[in-house]
Structure 1
């Protein structure tokens, strides 16, 4: 386990995640304060505004929003949150940070690498170890597909340049199968479930955000997970470069909150589910809830980016270049922030 920030971590009794996920924002909502300035209801003059995508109904950020603990942690360093847009894929969030419309986003190293190839205006400041059980190659339980080798000649849904494409290519390489022996079907993750369940693709390379609901029905299963694939697919938090230069103390406090509360979530996952509602499309229940709890317990915590992480990031960057996902190996090192040496 990587160590937390010491003296500055104590500034706030501290949580952020991510989830899942990955985070997105299409732009500033009407009335959002300008970057780094106060404003809005209850805003104090001189208060720094940190724009983060709304966390939805689960995770550390959702709990922090619901119980006020995130507000308290940031207030200790003269900052407050403006919830902007909603969580989703990293690519549009990266574009929003590049355009100065968003300050924080969460995504995978795989989607991060493709976004870094496009004049990035952000840096990564945390790392969460690859998910050993919540990501992988998903098939329908009645498909007759028993292993990665059975995918030859079949269609697999992936999100282009992101976690899905990485997981499929990695699984095929692990099994010694040339990538062109399997047809990649590029789909947005939030549009794939219907296609998968209708049998229009034979498998889905996916992560827990979307896998939980499918496995929870009992009608889908992994034929390979992150551990068996040998995935190096870290989850990362990114911050807009201009924001961290102007307000390093806010980023430190945010990291400290993330680190401490992600450890709490790992110990008690159920507390971080159905934070605002236990009904409707954003809620999880039944077997899906049990699946999510087990995945979270096996997952990592939000930690600083260390030398051992950077080596694995470089491995992913080389893998993407070798498979033509990026035109050349993306420089990662110059876009990483050592949160423990920030100030």
Structure 2
């Protein structure tokens, strides 16, 4: 069976309008290189109601960290899948964003306007392939002949393909149904697809509702899907001390989140659609405790990044192997230091 798309014209239109709305400005000979007060503007999406940047926005701690290098933060909206963020980085509408190495590799192969400056170890617990609790699918082998919802060219598709390869299942024995991540829940819950390969943002609510469980997790399929922090190349070239200041902040904040993950949930509100319910918190907190923090990208990390790049090339997701080494920044060589 061949992969197929279930497109949503309204969602695609909304995404394009959102991209246009996020665009600010300035081109970089100075792009985002200064405002009326002479400070360097740092355009970065927030985390919404939970996460490092949600708390950073609320308590002003990131603003204080950036002020030390004559920079100020400009929040550009709520973070989402990395593919649109990569387009914004390439179009000079964003300066920093977080994604996965899978989505970053796919994006770099198309529009290499950004670099990677930090990595977080793969999430072993919070991403994987979801199936309904009453599903007849009990093993990965049972996915043969079934429809699996995925988001193209990133974490979602990577986890599915890793599971199939691990179990010696040809990819054409399952049907990949390509959907936008925020489209998938109703399709999955209504039974229009048999499984859903996804990550924590979307998995945790399903797990908390107790109507689904992981068939396999990222850890069980041997995922090398690091989270990565990215920066627009021209911004990094012009303002290396700001990149270092942001790295230092993310590293320290990640350590604090590991120690007290509950403090990073429901940062703005405990009610409404953004709120993390007690059932969701019970699942999210162990995931966040087990999660690492931002670290400099090492040679060992590069080896694992290249294993992902080769895997995507072998699976036909990218057109050949993509070498990410030219797109890495060693934060240890940047000016400035923590504290």
TM-score (norm: length of structure 2):
0.90
Match for residue 288 of structure 1?
280
Match for residue 6 of structure 2?
none
* Cα distance change of structure 1 residues 31 and 133 upon mapping to structure 2, 3 Å threshold: closer
Is the CA contact 1:155–1:201 (under 8 Å) kept in the aligned structure 2? yes
Shift of 1:266: 1.1
For residues 190 and 274 of structure 2, what CA distance do their matches in structure 1 show? 22
For residues 145 and 251 of structure 1, what CA distance do their matches in structure 2 show? 46
For residues 95 and 56 of structure 1, what CA distance do their matches in structure 2 show? 20
Match for residue 152 of structure 1?
144
Which of 256, 272, 290 pairs up with 2:248?
256
Match for residue 322 of structure 2?
330
Number of aligned residue pairs: give it: 315
- Could you list the structure 1 runs, at least 4 aligned residues long, displaced by more than 6 angstroms after superposition: 30-33
SS, match of residue 167 in structure 1: helix
Shift of 1:54: 2.7
Q: Residue 162 in 1 paired to residue 159 in 2?
A: no
Q: Could you list the runs of 5+ residues in structure 2 that have no partner in the other structure?
A: 1-17
Q: Deviations over 1:218-251 (max 9, x none)?
A: 1110010011100000100100011111111111
* Cα distance change of structure 1 residues 334 and 30 upon mapping to structure 2, 3 Å threshold: closer
Match for residue 110 of structure 1?
102
Which of 15, 19, 26 pairs up with 2:19?
26
Shift of 1:31: 7.0
Q: Residue 133 in 1 paired to residue 125 in 2?
A: yes
Shift of 1:306: 0.6
Is the CA contact 1:28–1:102 (under 8 Å) kept in the aligned structure 2? no
Match for residue 303 of structure 1?
295
Q: Could you list the runs of 5+ residues in structure 1 that have no partner in the other structure?
A: 1-24, 40-44
Q: Residue 37 in 1 paired to residue 30 in 2?
A: no
Match for residue 94 of structure 1?
86
What does residue range 182-331 of structure 1 map to in structure 2 within 5 Å?
182-331=174-323
Is the CA contact 2:23–2:94 (under 8 Å) kept in the aligned structure 1? no
TM-score (norm: length of structure 1):
0.89
SS, match of residue 150 in structure 1: helix
For residues 164 and 24 of structure 2, what CA distance do their matches in structure 1 show? 48
Which of 19, 25, 47 pairs up with 2:39?
47
SS, match of residue 237 in structure 1: strand
For residues 272 and 153 of structure 1, what CA distance do their matches in structure 2 show? 41
